[in-house]
Structures are given as C-alpha cells and as structure tokens.
C-alpha cells in the first residue's frame, strides 16, 4: 500500500505543478496518535482524519524550499469513513492525502471563507477524478 500511496502523492504533486524535487512527509497513524497530535498542535482533543503541517509558511519557510510539509492521516478514521461512505479504505486514504496536500499548497476550507472552501472542493473533485480516470485508486 505504501508504494500505491506514493504513486498517488506523486501524481497529485505533478498535477499541482509542484517542482519535481518537492519533498513530502506522509505518516499513517492510529486514532490515539492523531488525537494526541490534534490536541497538542490544534487544541482539539479528539481524533480527526487528516492534519497537515506546511513548511512553506511562516518565518522559516525558505530554509528548505522543496520541503512542502507533513501530512498525518488516521488509518482508523479513514477506515471508518470508507465503510460509512461505501468505498475502499485505500480510496479514502488517497482522498485524505489529496486533502492534506492541498492544505500544504495553500488551499483552505476552514479559515478563509466560503469562496476559498468552494475553490478547494472544486480542486479536490478535479484531482480525485484524475486519480480515478488514471486508475491510481484501483486495487
């Protein structure tokens, strides 16, 4: 599965016209771990599906110009959401990876208002459709 997720990440980065040397850290964890991360960094004491930590924002953003950031995904939450949505777990993990990468690339649905949330949703649909058409979500 790690190889398949890597291919998905590479295709997303390519579609977003990221530099070919772009670096991305992806961690797949359980609900207990992501809850701790969510509590420590976002002051939300609950598990969540995905958290992104951009490295190209803030005062030290130029130190490693090709390091995009970190995406942390809860496998437990992804599996639950997949079952609830009638999809394969890998498909849900791929969507959460896409969502996290979009956050690292400056897309936001939480703090920037409805127009930005709609822009992010549109990009998610576009790129997820691309992944499906190219067969990257198939077992």
pLDDT for 58 equals: 77
Beta strand 50-54 with 23-29 is unpaired
Q: Could you give the percent of the chain with pLDDT greater than 70?
A: 99
pLDDT for 18 equals: 92
The pLDDT tens digits of the residues spanning 48-101 come to 999 999 988 877 777 888 899 999 999 999 999 999 999 999 999 999 999 999
pLDDT above 80 for 136: yes
Handedness of CA 75, 79, 80, 84 (dihedral sign): positive
Distances (CA, A) of 66 to 26, 53, 73, 107: 15, 14, 21, 18
pLDDT above 90 for 11: yes
Listed in order, strand segments (DSSP E) in the chain are 23-29, 50-54, 67-74
Q: Which of 95, 100, 104, 103 is nearest to 127 (CA)?
A: 95
- Classified as helix, coil or strand, 1 is coil
104 vs 63, residue with greater confidence: 104
């Amino acid at each position: 599965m790690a190889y398949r997720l890597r291919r998905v990440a590479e295709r997303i980065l390519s579609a977003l016209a990221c530099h070919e040397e772009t670096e991305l850290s992806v961690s797949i964890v359980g609900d207990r771990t992501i809850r701790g991360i969510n509590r420590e960094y976002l002051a939300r004491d609950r598990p969540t599906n995905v958290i992104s930590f951009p490295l190209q924002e803030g005062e030290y953003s130029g130190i490693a110009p090709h390091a995009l950031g970190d995406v942390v995904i809860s496998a437990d939450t992804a599996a639950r959401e997949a079952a609830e949505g009638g999809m394969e777990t890998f498909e849900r993990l791929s969507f959460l990876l896409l969502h996290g990468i979009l956050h690292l690339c400056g897309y936001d649905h939480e703090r920037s208002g409805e127009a930005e949330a709609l822009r992010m949703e549109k990009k998610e649909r576009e790129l997820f459709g691309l992944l499906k058409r190219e067969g990257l979500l198939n077992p």
